[in-house]
Structure 1
Amino acid sequence: MSEALPDGWVWATLEDLLAAEPRAITDGPFGSNLKSSHYTDSGARVLRLQNVGDGEFRDERAYISLEHYENLKNHNVQAGDLILASLGEELPRVALVPDLEGPAIVKADVIRARLHPDLNSKWVLYALQAPATRAVAMSKIRGVGRPRLGLGEIRKLPIPLPPLAEQLRIVETLEGHLSRLDAANRYIARVRQSTTSFDSTRRCELLDPWLSSTRKLKTLLASPLINGRSVPTDDDGFPVLRLTAIKNRVLDLSARKGGAWQREDATPFLVERGDFMVSRGNGSLHLVGRGALAVGDPDPIAFPDTMIRVRPNPYVVDPEFLAFVWDSQIVRRQIETAARTTAGIYKVNQRILEALDIPIPPLDVQAQIIEAARDHFAVVERLMEETGMAQKRSEHLRRSLLAEAFTGRLVRQESADEPAVEVLKRIEVEHYSRPKKLRPRKSGPNKTTLPPPKITVVPAGTQEELAL
């Protein structure tokens, strides 16, 4: 795709589009300014990474007292602001803040950007999700274990800016297409939810006769529970699993990295066939304590401190049966009730896991349940695979729509529209008419001379795809 923009458009950066006020863009407080001990049951909202969906605001709740909010109100958030995640695998992740019905601040790793009122906030929201912007952002990310896009880089993210009237036309048309795509996504989500319910019901049917025959997990182990070890990343070091290896009941041994340690250091933490690995923490309650089974004979690989190893005694419980029962409502209720939360992260520990009551039928009955479960899983996995493919197609269509929108091909252009550069000039005048000490800190060249960024846009979809 050419870097040239349609007539009347201009390249800008996010900081060019900010409101003419102090701290129009800011990150959250760090360190002792906002600790876990500051969190309360009510008061001022704290917007965290969990609130920043990919284009949507997630209503996860956390609070600090109104008194402490007064100390941190330079980081405040109001309806219409954009919040951007500066930490994550795919950045920028951005959401538009709704009316929160009270004061709020952002937490560390969340950037709040307050746009100038002469701009359309939704246009900027969609521009930050566009494939071209994502490509630029991904090239600026630093860090492997904790990928990060700093505040300075977020300020300089390129935004293609059309005339305001055209912004409004594009947003209206784009949201019409996206609303139909969202309806399709909701249908896919209902199918997946029905599949999950079917899965849960079948597990209950197989386990119900044995609910009175439970044993504590601690009595089912071949060796005590053990947490993994945290090691720095070293591409040439001994391999260690990533937390993403815990997925879909079977441990994904390809989800790994090199660790800065030797084989002898990793030996106590090696994964063996039949080990069941459990995640220690997650920002979502329904994901904390999920587990996956090591099948086959793994090559030498260790597990990290984000996992707890459960090594079942095969003379008492078949590891495959333990993996089956672990995702049942019987066990999940216990885990979610016992999980503890710190600063929005749910956690389990060895003591919680040891106390779990696990239904344990005789080994021959376990084998029968496993056989029945395999047939059940085949149906569930086929349904989940088909809906997963539909989700991927939906994601491709969304990228195609955004690509069309941000190259000026989605709506007509009107020669009477005021060119975008005139809006930028007014914003600049407003910024620099303020006292010098209140002027924004610039991190790059003037917007009118900003060169077009080196970007690559994914190919746009066909008109049939965009019609939806």
Structure 2
Amino acid sequence: MNGMEPTSESGLVGSGLPDGWAYATLDDLADVAGGVTKDSKKQLDEAYPEVPYLRVANVQREHLDLAHVATIRVSPENAARYRLCRGDVLMTEGGDRDKLGRGWVWEDQIPGCIHQNHVFRARIWAEAMIPGLLAWYVNSVARPWLEANAKQSVNLASISISTIKQMPVPVPPPAEQRRIAEVLKGRLARLDAIEANLRTALDALDRLDSAVLDSVATGALESVSTAPPIDHVVEAVAEVSGGIQKQARRRPQDNPHPFLRVANVGRGVLYLADIHEIELFDGEIDRYRLKEGDLLVVEGNGSPDQIGRAALWHDEIKDCVHQNHLIRVRPGPQLRAAYLELVWNSPTVARRLQRVANSTSGLFTLSTRKLKSLVIPVAPLEEQDRLVKAARAHQSRISKARSTTRTALAHTAALRRGLLADAFAGRLVPQDPVEESAGELLKRIRVEREAIEAERKASRRAARARAKADARLTTPPPPPARTTSAVDTIGEQGTLPMEFSA
């Protein structure tokens, strides 16, 4: 088994575990099953009732997102077959790598809820393992095993139900499980609270950064005394132009050049680790070459708040061009490039961009024509310089605070990983040799399961016997065989024999 402790042939006991622990497969510990398959044809049958059902999007790592739970029409038989029970451990089949095996415990939050086929549920046998403990294990220590045993293609991964049933699980003795769960619950709750506070701090820093940008756009930045800026149409203060459309004939061959895409442009930042190339023809490099101080604006995005995000080009790559989904805004004599970038990414201009980008079809896209007519605030050049200098100082402090906060988040994540690793290696709480061992627990569960299975088989045999008996009782008897009588022979003799007496 890749990435986990190997098991022996007799009892799945692995080396390296504390005394009293044992390895088991997930199939030993739980009844693992997939969910209902969505059939669009059956959805049209209104005779079936609608029931709530969980999708992959509802099953997150160490929590369930039940804000938007869909419904599905299924037969009463399937509603009963796939109904979730309190204590079921839910695990996702896959998708991108972060989705593989993620999940949490179902607490019967929605009565009658079922689950789709891309979500597995593990219904633990008797007291084989505390559900929360198994869920913590699958979400942490088991991830390398899941990734190693999944089918992978590019960034997607999926694991079959037959494979996940064979996932090895270290099983502590029952009493120790309870102690581990109690300690994990308390410590993870404290880590969760710390992480929540750190994420709140990051959100506050983002809002502070936006406030700095807006102060530049309105000329109200603290410590800088300026007159309110005057609105100008972009076309009057800058040159706006489109980029190169990616086509088959543009495949880089004889004259390739670096080529910026939407993925390379963030809000106020460029991502230049992955740069593609495109073929240019005679004279095009002079027309499309980016220059120091060009502002690259994203033409469209699925999210309205990302429409028109922009970043400044500092000539990081020689003879670089850009695609047609990026619009180049080259500032004129009335604009400092750094000032233009700050103002452009401010909430004030972002709202104007959204209004300009909106269309009757509900799509959000920009064009060179729309950007030329956009109105932006422009301060005098001297004041632009002062505003940029003050804004950069504020942004530097915000950046340092953000970096510190992210480092703290990384530390909490490392603490979480270490805590869970210790929990499933037997290092979190002390062992007690007097307690029932995991091996005894697994043996007891195996005997109980065999008894249940024998009872089920006997019940099925009895049901089949009853069905045969009922079939014999309800089958009509065959018609009686016909016998030859005197009447039957009339046709043969023609007349009845007569006797005369003397």
In which range does the TM-score fall when normalised by the shorter chain?
0.5 to 0.7
Residues in 2 aligned to 1:299 and 1:199: alpha-carbon distance in whole angstroms: 31
**Structure 2 residue 424 is matched with structure 1 residue 406:** yes
**Structure 2 residue 27 is matched with structure 1 residue 11:** no
After superposition, where does 1:379-458 map in structure 2 within 5 Å? 379-414=397-432, 415-419=434-438, 420-422=441-443, 425=446, 428-429=449-450, 432-433=453-454, 434=456
Q: Are the equivalent residues in 2 in contact too, given 1:181–1:394 (CA < 8 A)?
A: yes
Residues in 2 aligned to 1:296 and 1:322: alpha-carbon distance in whole angstroms: 17
Q: Which moved more, 1:394-403 or 1:272-281?
A: 272-281
Determine which of 127, 132, 135 is the counterpart of 2:144: 135
Residues in 2 aligned to 1:319 and 1:17: alpha-carbon distance in whole angstroms: 64
Query: CA 1:352/1:160 → structure 2, altered by over 3 Å: closer, same or farther?
Result: farther
Q: Are the equivalent residues in 2 in contact too, given 1:245–1:253 (CA < 8 A)?
A: yes
Gaps of 5+ in 1: 38-42, 231-236, 341-345, 439-468
Determine which of 62, 84, 87 is the counterpart of 1:55: 62
Deviation of residue 136 (structure 1)?
1.9
Aligned equivalent of 1:298: 317
Partner-residue secondary structure (3-state), 1:93: coil
Residues in 2 aligned to 1:421 and 1:403: alpha-carbon distance in whole angstroms: 22
Aligned equivalent of 2:102: 93
Deviation of residue 82 (structure 1)?
1.5
Deviation of residue 313 (structure 1)?
3.4
Residues in 2 aligned to 1:115 and 1:7: alpha-carbon distance in whole angstroms: 27
Letter of the 2:296 partner, please give it.
F
Determine which of 144, 161, 165 is the counterpart of 2:171: 161
Aligned equivalent of 1:121: 131
Deviation of residue 375 (structure 1)?
1.7
Q: Are the equivalent residues in 1 in contact too, given 2:125–2:445 (CA < 8 A)?
A: no
Query: CA 1:187/1:143 → structure 2, altered by over 3 Å: closer, same or farther?
Result: same
Deviation of residue 378 (structure 1)?
0.6
Deviation of residue 400 (structure 1)?
0.6
Residues in 1 aligned to 2:444 and 2:67: alpha-carbon distance in whole angstroms: 36
Q: Are the equivalent residues in 1 in contact too, given 2:297–2:308 (CA < 8 A)?
A: no
Residues in 1 aligned to 2:114 and 2:245: alpha-carbon distance in whole angstroms: 35
Q: Which moved more, 1:52-61 or 1:400-409?
A: 52-61
After superposition, where does 1:98-113 map in structure 2 within 5 Å? 99-101=108-110, 104=113, 110-113=118-121
Q: Are the equivalent residues in 1 in contact too, given 2:243–2:328 (CA < 8 A)?
A: yes
After superposition, where does 1:173-184 map in structure 2 within 5 Å? 173-184=183-194
Letter of the 2:177 partner, please give it.
Q
Query: CA 1:123/1:201 → structure 2, altered by over 3 Å: closer, same or farther?
Result: same
Residues in 2 aligned to 1:332 and 1:430: alpha-carbon distance in whole angstroms: 68
What are the superposed Cα offsets for residues 242-274 of structure 1, whole Å, 9 maximum, x if unpaired?
987555631221146x8xx97469x99x99564
Q: Are the equivalent residues in 1 in contact too, given 2:52–2:114 (CA < 8 A)?
A: yes
Letter of the 1:136 partner, please give it.
W
Gaps of 5+ in 2: 6-14, 45-49, 220-227, 249-255, 461-502
TM-score (normalizing by structure 2) = 0.62
Q: Are the equivalent residues in 2 in contact too, given 1:250–1:295 (CA < 8 A)?
A: no
Residues in 1 aligned to 2:230 and 2:116: alpha-carbon distance in whole angstroms: 46
After superposition, where does 1:257-276 map in structure 2 within 5 Å? 263=279, 272=290, 274=294, 276=296
Query: CA 1:240/1:103 → structure 2, altered by over 3 Å: closer, same or farther?
Result: farther
Residues in 2 aligned to 1:186 and 1:136: alpha-carbon distance in whole angstroms: 29
Deviation of residue 348 (structure 1)?
4.6
Partner-residue secondary structure (3-state), 1:383: helix
Aligned equivalent of 1:186: 196
Q: Which moved more, 1:289-298 or 1:389-398?
A: 289-298
Q: Are the equivalent residues in 2 in contact too, given 1:46–1:107 (CA < 8 A)?
A: yes
Q: Are the equivalent residues in 2 in contact too, given 1:82–1:114 (CA < 8 A)?
A: yes
**Structure 2 residue 222 is matched with structure 1 residue 203:** no
The share of aligned pairs that are identical, in percent, is 22
Deviation of residue 7 (structure 1)?
2.8
**Structure 2 residue 372 is matched with structure 1 residue 360:** no
**Structure 2 residue 372 is matched with structure 1 residue 372:** no
Letter of the 1:410 partner, please give it.
L
Query: CA 1:205/1:163 → structure 2, altered by over 3 Å: closer, same or farther?
Result: same
Letter of the 1:297 partner, please give it.
E
Aligned equivalent of 1:82: 90
Letter of the 1:121 partner, please give it.
P
After superposition, where does 1:193-232 map in structure 2 within 5 Å? 193-208=203-218, 213=231, 222-224=240-242
Aligned length: 404
Residues in 1 aligned to 2:205 and 2:199: alpha-carbon distance in whole angstroms: 10
